[in-house]
Amino acid sequence: MPPNEARRALVTGGAGFIGSHLVERLIEDGQRVTVLDDLSTGRRPNLAAVVDRPELELVEGSVLDAELVQTLVARVDVVYHLAAAVGVDWVMRHPLRSLETNIQGTEHVLRACATPETPRRVLIASTSEVYGKNDKDALAEDDDRVLGSARLSRWFYASAKAIDEAFALAYWQERRLPVTVVRLFNTVGARQTGRYGMVVPRFVRWALRNEPLRVYGDGQQTRCFTNVHDVVHALIALMRTPAAAGETFNIGQPHEIRIIDLARRVIELAESSSELKLVPYHAEEAYGERAAGFEDMRRRVPDASKLYAYTGFRPRIGLDQTLREVIDYERSALGRQQSAELLSRDELVADA
């Protein structure tokens, strides 16, 4: 099929943060899209911009339902498998469910795509977590994985996603399933929730409320943050690149920032009066009793040169623009929340 010809895509986890942005872009590009999401972390409002479009079909269900996955895959040409347990905090709270969703769900998707007659092009979303504690200057796809103790739940997620990758590459090697694995580094943008440990939306919400920004540890740990629109661009570019089948790619912005400096930048851009507060990892307001299963990384920087070599694409949206997008989105959400609270209060007064 020519790259720009309309086709039908299945996006698992399509009501989630990254998934919803991908769905919007695919529909804009003329594709028909089926979304499979159990709405455990995804949200219907994330798809508000396209929910009434005839090109969208939203199916509430789980990738753990093998029969449902088989049925939906049979109706499409390409599959973006984004459904997963997400966020360090969520994974630490639900280690068993995390393992089941990530491993069994991916196996169901791969098996459904690997029909001998018409195998489906499929992209499997993995994570930079698979690199573990490897803190070399820029992590390349073939670099070693350095994991901590198997007793720490932080590494359950990394191990599960590594198994996902192994399944994907095994299907490529043995059945020539055209599958591409992507390792997503920290992705940021509108609609991302801070409920599962994502740092940027939490910082922004605290800043807009002029509350202290809680920085865990000493704040000297560094991360690289990539705009969700750049990530979506990369996902689609890889799916349109036949040579990317059987390969693994980092997707991330290589410019790192200390978390304490990120907090300061959020305060500045939000024009907030918030202060910074360093919080030890073992403190109750950090990970509390789950701190025994937590281990943080000092730095994690992607080498995205392979992505550029195959697709010609590099992430190009800067951090300040990304933070402004999140601030604008959260400010709007906060305004709607405050308006609803005022309306509710007025109704209570009227009833009295």
For the segment 264-291, what is each residue's pLDDT rounded down to a tens digit? 999 999 999 999 999 997 654 544 444 4
Identify whether 263 is part of a domain: no
Identify whether 127 is part of a domain: yes
Identify whether 348 is part of a domain: no
| pLDDT classification of 98: cutoffs 50, 70, 90 | confident
**Quick check: helix, strand or coil at residue 246?**
coil
Pairing of strands 222-224, 256-258: antiparallel
Q: Work out the average pLDDT over 306-314.
A: 97
Catalytic residue, candidates 80, 131, 157, 171: 157
How many CB atoms are closer than 10 A to CB 280? 12
CATH assignment at residue 39: 3.40.50.720
Smallest Cα–Cα separation from 324: which of 266, 257, 255, 260?
266
pLDDT, one tens digit per residue, over 216-271 is 999 999 999 999 999 999 999 999 999 999 999 999 999 999 999 999 999 999 99
Per-residue pLDDT at 140 exceeds 80: yes
Number of domains the chain contains: 1
Identify whether 95 is part of a domain: yes
pLDDT at 259: 97
Q: Work out the average pLDDT over 311-332.
A: 96
Smallest Cα–Cα separation from 158: which of 177, 173, 174, 144?
144
pLDDT at 289: 46
Identify whether 291 is part of a domain: no
Single-letter amino acid code for the residue at 37: D
pLDDT, one tens digit per residue, over 198-209 is 899 999 999 999
Q: What span, in angstroms and rounded, lies between the C-alpha atoms of 157 and 145?
A: 13
Identify whether 119 is part of a domain: yes
Stronger pLDDT, 299 or 270, i.e. the higher one? 270
Q: Work out the average pLDDT over 58-65.
A: 97
Average of per-residue pLDDT values in the chain: 89
Range ranked top by mean pLDDT from 18-22, 151-155, 336-340: 18-22
Identify whether 79 is part of a domain: yes
The alpha helices in 133-258, defined as continuous H runs, are 154-175, 199-208, 228-239
Identify whether 211 is part of a domain: no
| Sign of the alpha-carbon torsion through 268, 325, 309, 179 | positive
Is 310 among the catalytic positions? no
pLDDT at 1: 44
- 100: domain range? 8-197+226-253+298-317
